[in-house]
Amino acid sequence: MADWKLSPDDRDATFAIDESGLVCQARLEKAWAGGRASVGVQKGKYYYEISVADEGLCRVGWATSAANLDLGKDKQVRNYYTTEFSILSENS
């Protein structure tokens, strides 16, 4: 299995990723910024763990490669978690 990390090539310009690929932060206070992982899930059972270490809003979830980087704004999202509230889609 390939090493998982955040992709520096598949993200919004205002979505900062550290050198490890494991820490990220949106750089704008009044807009969402998003990114995707360097490896996609095709089948099987997977999970992720996150730590929210800063103030502000956060969304993390599963989506197809065609999904909008503004997570939760289209039907390509399977489910996601936000610090506002939790959303589980019909496909989850």
Indicate if the alpha-carbon torsion angle 11, 16, 18, 23 is positive or negative. negative
What does each C-alpha distance from 32 to 44, 56, 81 come to in angstroms?
30, 11, 14
**Residues 25-82 pLDDT 10s:** 888 888 888 889 888 888 888 888 888 887 777 788 888 888 888 877 787 877 667 7
- Per the DSSP assignment, residues forming a β-bridge with 62 are 79
Query: Model pTM?
Result: 0.72
Residue type, 26: A
